Amino acid sequence: SGNKLHNVVFVLGPPGSGKGTQCSRIQANLGFTHLSAGDLLRAERQRHGSEFGELIESHIRGGTIVPVEITCKLLENAMLASGDSAKGFLIDGFPRNQDNLDGWKRQMSDKVNVHFVLYLSAPIEVCVQRCLNRGQGRTDDNEESIQKRIVTYNEQTYPIIKHYEKQNMVREINGEKSADEVYAEVERIFQNAGF
């Protein structure tokens, strides 16, 4: 199956909107493979011998976006490592800016079929509180880093969502409700998409 295209759904939304939470449920119930770009970067940051550890940490703390060559390679490696069994890939928290989008297209266009963008929207105050309450020791879950993540989201990631909206590819869900209520909407969207 050398030229088989992988199914991909991008999952975007502000920090703390519930991307990871919903992706775990989609993976468990619908058979997609969840790849969080943020989780892959955090793992690479911890990997012994990584030449990118410090660079990644400085971007994560500052809420800025890691160069696409690094992130896209981690995503592609994870896709290859996961094998062919999955229904498709949920790519959580990517592409976050124009550099991400351009790099992804250069490297992946001929290998994937991006079906749609799942967009979890939620008021910024709700997102901030969720990040502050998460309690997993993330180095970017402090007031200062959260504010920076939100500025980056508004200035760089929201325009990517708008870009996909123009192509009618965005499926928006109100992520403010309970995780169960949000997931019910998520399932409806995947059913309507034929998954």
Residues near ligand UP5 (CB under 6 A): 13, 15-21, 37-38, 41, 59-60, 63-66, 71, 93-94, 96, 100, 130-131, 134, 140, 149, 178-179, 182
Nearest to 75 by CA among 115, 108, 120: 108
Find out whether 160 is annotated in a ligand binding site: no
Which does residue 131 touch among ligand UP5, Mg ion, none (CB within 5 to 8 A, set by kind)? ligand UP5
Q: Residues near 91 by Cβ (< 8 Å), separated by ≥ 6?
A: 8, 9, 10, 11, 35, 37, 75
Looking at beta carbons only, is 15 or 88 nearer to ligand UP5?
A: 15
Contact predicate 193/185, CB 8 Å: no
Among 6, 20, 43, 111, the residue binding Mg ion under the rule CB under 5 A is 20
Nearest to 87 by CA among 26, 173, 133: 26
Rounded CA-CA distance 32/48 in Å is: 29
Looking at beta carbons only, is 38 or 88 nearer to ligand UP5?
A: 38
Rounded CA-CA distance 96/109 in Å is: 17
**Residues near Mg ion, by CB under 5 A:** 19-20
Annotated binding site for CMP: 100
Annotated binding site: 16-21, 42, 64-66, 93-96, 100, 134, 138, 149, 177
